[in-house]
Amino acid sequence: MEDILEEESGEEEVLGSSLTMEKVAAAKQYIENHYRAQMKNIQERKERRWILERKLAASDVPKEEQINLIKDLERKETEFMRLKRHRICVDDFELLTIIGRGAFGEVRLCREKKSGNIYAMKKLKKSEMLKRGQVEHVRAERNLLAEVASHCIVKLYYSFQDAEYLYLIMEYLPGGDVMTLLMREDTLSENVAKFYIAQSVLAIESIHKHNYIHRDIKPDNLLLDKNGHMKLSDFGLCKPLDCRTLPAIHENKTMDDENMTEPMDIDGCFPDADDKSSWRSPREQLQHWQMNRRKLAFSTVGTPDYIAPEVLLKKGYGMECDWWSLGAIMYEMLVGYPPFYSDDPITTCRKIVNWRNQLRFPEDARLSPEAKDLIYRLLCDVEHRLGTGGAHEIKVHPWFKDIVWDKLYEMEAAFKPEVNGELDTQNFMKFDELDPPAQARTGSGSSRKMLTTKDLSFVGYTYKNFDAVKALHGESRAGYSTKRTTEDSEMQMLTSSGDPMLP
């Protein structure tokens, strides 16, 4: 009996020791992240001051106004420090309409109670992230949004966590996504497609400069603001394609029409498809894609239509895979459906890895030679793919000859979405409430007294953007005088160091 008790006591000591070590590791990581962030904040504060002083020195702003602008910056820096000490939690926001849902969580419209500003709140369940091995993905997404300062990318204002969920508070883009646009328009003219492909090039280039690969470029993740300008995001809440469940895919195995037997008519909408033909008429192909695209995008399997062959073949891949995805989107914009479409994901994957035999244009597709050439040079092997040597390879392609790249976000957008007010969600899908919005979650952010072992994977997730201070003092709610509002506007322009339009 004593031996049993001693053995149980030993197991408890080992277990206790293991838990203690995990908590020590979590605390160590938390402290390191905290002081690293402190040093970074000090450096960023110095840079904002230096940038403002440099801009003022090169401007014609009177001396008195320069002094006021510097004081305004100092005031906002003080408010930012106060904001960073505030323990942001879900209770700081009024939860509104759901605009996206997937396997890991949801995206919903929300209103910040203090400022009244409208944001998009992305909420991810921690246990699902851990169970599905998505910790690195969600951490990379948070880091990308926090580090990449570009108006081609959706802006992150806050990130925080509580015991059950991770939260990303981002700008709300009410124009919907490019997939919704394509569903409404069927196809786009080359001029309209060129505008959005060009803005996509700038967005992808901005993340590549920070050594990030998006890996999930698709129409769902290209969002439109109220003016119709496009920003890159990652609302990939549907389960990504799990390549481990696919049978072996061989790059050099040919796929002749005779052995193509994918179930293209599982919905029974085309009764004359008994011949198992893999290539419908363009009109039938378009109709079938329109009926299935939303179902495929939000299915438990996901859609592989935009995935590069090197990703599917697990040969190792780099930033070039994003340019393949862009080529597939360009094809869809101009033709009406993706280049390797099938309602069977396995067949789509096989078509992609055998792209040499499968890439073709419908005979009645009225594409310019330049458009076809660009698609061919994006949907090809890595060694010959445009963009492998940098985005400039794509920018100088003849199809973009009339694009003024540094003015692209200043010009009128090719398509202006209908938006009626800041709470308008008509450009997004409708989602029913599964459970009432859960307010009053305690223990959010740094207010937790002790990190649990589950939180070890998400240490350092909390983030606050300096622009959140500006958002707290927006023109409509600030209560400042007209002169003060003008100065705030000028200072925002002068201190926007992340703006790619600035030298």
Catalytic residues: 216
Torsion on CA atoms 461, 462, 463, 464, rounded to nearest 10: 170
- Which secondary structure element, helix H or strand E, spans residue 106, and what is its range? strand 105-112
Contacts of residue 91, defined as CB under 8 A and 6 or more positions apart, other chains included, come to 439, 440, 441, 444
Query: What is the CA 437 to chain-centroid distance, rounded?
Result: 24
Is 122 labelled as part of a ligand binding site?
A: yes
Separation of alpha carbons 66 and 95, rounded Å: 40
Separation of alpha carbons 30 and 79, rounded Å: 24
Residue 4, token pair as written in the block: 């049993």
Q: Which residues of 29-54 are buried (b: 16+ CB within 10 A; e: fewer)?
A: ebeeeeeeeeeebeeebeebeebbee
Contacts of residue 327, defined as CB under 8 A and 6 or more positions apart, other chains included, come to 374, 375, 377, 378, 379
Query: What is the CA 452 to chain-centroid distance, rounded?
Result: 29
Separation of alpha carbons 35 and 136, rounded Å: 22
Separation of alpha carbons 319 and 208, rounded Å: 7
Which SS3 state, helix, strand or coil, does residue 75 take? helix
For the chain, give me the number of helices (H) and strands (E)? Answer: 15, 8
**366 φ, ψ (degrees, to nearest 5):** -95, 70
DSSP assignment string, 362-419: -TT----HHHHHHHHHHSS-GGG-TTTT-THHHHTSGGGTT--GGGTTTSPPS-----
- Residue 169, number of CB atoms within 10 A of its CB: 27
454 class by beta-carbon count within 10 Å (0-12 exposed, 13-18 middle, 19+ buried): middle
90 class by beta-carbon count within 10 Å (0-12 exposed, 13-18 middle, 19+ buried): buried
Which SS3 state, helix, strand or coil, does residue 341 take? coil
Annotated binding-site ranges for ATP = 122
Annotated binding-site ranges = 122
